[in-house]
Amino acid sequence: MLKIVVMVSGGGTNLQAIIDGVKDGKITNTQIAGVISNNRNAYALKRAEENGIPSLCVSPKDYESREIFNEKLLEAVDGFEPDLIVLAGFLVVIPPEMTAKYKNRMINIHPSLIPSFCGKGFYGLKVHEAALERGVKVVGATVHFVDEGTDTGPIILQKAVEVQQGDTPEVLQRRVMEQAEWIILPRAIDLIANGKVRVEAHRTWIEE
């Protein structure tokens, strides 16, 4: 049984997709051990509570330094003894110690086809604003392992989504969530839970 901790900052629609996937059997062999947010007002925490999932809020605002916050965040994660950490819209920089400790055991969902529109400053609506500004015809989402960089770890799954005439950033964001994020994140967790993802150097191989 793969024990996962899901880290969130906002609405938690990706968390909801994971909760639903475990419930309806799309995600097998997996238990959501806990949810951690940096934002005590994150609706994602309400979703956890409604589904009986233990949750914690660890906010940088509550600590006098980033170093102390980093320590407390890692302590909170370790407390759940996860096999896999899932970053689902978590907007805080992951402490280097945590990235090192959970190498190839921490994944992130990014709302673009990496290496496009990713890296520092590309998060949330900014990703979709940049895509519309560039005039790309295809966008999508990526699930990747987290390494010491920003959105630079080995790619696990990607799914493309068409841009439509007249799309606003908000409309495009929602389509990417519905047609890509909420599909590939649960699928990536199920593949990992069943030992079907292998990492070789900077690439992954999926054994169906």
* Number of CB atoms found within 10 A of residue 56's CB: 18
Q: Least Å distance between CB 22 and ligand GRF?
A: 16
Q: Least Å distance between CB 40 and ligand GRF?
A: 15
Taking CA atoms, 146 is separated from 33, 37, 180, 190, in Å, by 20, 18, 19, 17
Strand order in the sheet with 106-110: 55-57, 30-37, 2-8, 84-87, 106-110, 138-145, 155-162
CB-nearer residue toward ligand GRF: 44 or 157: 44
CB-nearer residue toward ligand GRF: 88 or 114: 88
CB-nearer residue toward ligand GRF: 39 or 194: 39
Footprint of ligand GRF on this chain (CB under 6 A)? 8, 10-14, 44, 88-89, 109-111, 124, 177, 181
Print the SS3 string covering 31-61.
EEEEEEECCCCCHHHHHHHHCCCCEEECCHH
- Residues involved in catalysis: 110
Taking CA atoms, 7 is separated from 45, 84, 90, in Å, by 10, 11, 6
Q: Least Å distance between CB 65 and ligand GRF?
A: 26
CB 48 within 8 A of CB 55: yes
CB-nearer residue toward ligand GRF: 110 or 190: 110
**Closest residue to ligand GRF, based on beta-carbon distance:** 89
